[in-house]
Amino acid sequence: MKVLIKKYMGFLMAVAAVGIIMVLSTKTGLKALGIMAGTFKEMLMLLPPVFVMLGLLDVWVPRETMVKYMGEGSGIKGIVLSILIGSAAAGPLYGAFPVAAVFMKKGAKFSNILIFLGAWSTTKIPTLMFEIASLGPAFALTRLAINIPGIIIIAHLLIKLMPKKEIERIRENSYEIL
C-alpha cells in the first residue's frame, strides 16, 4: 500500500489541492477541477495511440537495427535520426517518454535518446511552420539553427556529467515501465 501511495503521490497531492481550493472557493475549485478533467481527457485521447505505435515499433524494429542506426557506434547517423524522429513527432512532451523507453530497451545510445527528447520538445515541424507563418522565416530558422546545436551540446554535456551508474539506473527503470 505504501508503494502505491508513493507512486501516486503527485496525483494525490493535486486532488487534495483541488479539494482545498474547492472548500475555500467553489467557483475557483470547479474551474480547477474542469482544467484537471480536460487534461486527463487529453491524456486518455493521446496515450492509447502512442502505446499502439510503441507496440508496433517494439515488434517491427529489431534490436540490431536500432543499435545499428541509433546505438553506441551510430555516430552522426544516430544524431541526425534522433533529430528527425523527434522533429516529426506529434503530441505533447509526455508522449515522448514512452518512446524514449522503447529506444532504451532496443539499445539506442543514451545521448541519442536525450537528443530525441530535445528535438521533440523544441524542433517540431508544426511549430516551425507556425513560427514561419507568424514570426517570419528569419526568426524561425535562426531559432532552429541555435536549438539543434544546443540540443546536441546539452545531450553530450549531460552524458559527461552524469555518473554511468545513474544512466544504467535510468535504463533499468525504463525496462520496468514497459
The pLDDT of residue 79 is above 90: yes
Q: What tens digit of pLDDT does each residue of 12-44 get? A: 898 898 889 989 998 998 898 889 889 888 888
Q: For residue 4, name the pLDDT band (cuts at 50, 70, 90).
A: confident
The pLDDT value given to residue 145: 95
Q: At which residue does the C-alpha cell 481527457 appear? A: 41
Cα–Cα distance for residue pair 22/112, rounded to 1 Å:
44
Which set of grid coordinates corresponds to residue 136? 517570419
The pLDDT of residue 1 is above 80: no
The pLDDT of residue 78 is above 90: yes
Cα–Cα distance for residue pair 112/109, rounded to 1 Å:
5
The pLDDT value given to residue 44: 85
The pLDDT of residue 177 is above 70: no
pTM of the model: 0.79
Q: What tens digit of pLDDT does each residue of 127-175 get? A: 899 999 999 999 999 999 999 999 999 999 999 999 999 999 988 887 7
**Residue 52 CA neighbour count, 13 Å, CB half:** 5
The pLDDT value given to residue 50: 78
Cα–Cα distance for residue pair 102/113, rounded to 1 Å:
10
How many residues belong to the chain? 178
Which set of grid coordinates corresponds to residue 89? 513527432
91: part of which helix (H) or strand (E)? none
The pLDDT of residue 178 is above 80: no
Q: What tens digit of pLDDT does each residue of 81-134 get? A: 999 999 998 788 888 898 899 999 889 999 999 999 999 999 999 889 999 999
Say if CB 70 and CB 81 are below 8 A apart: yes
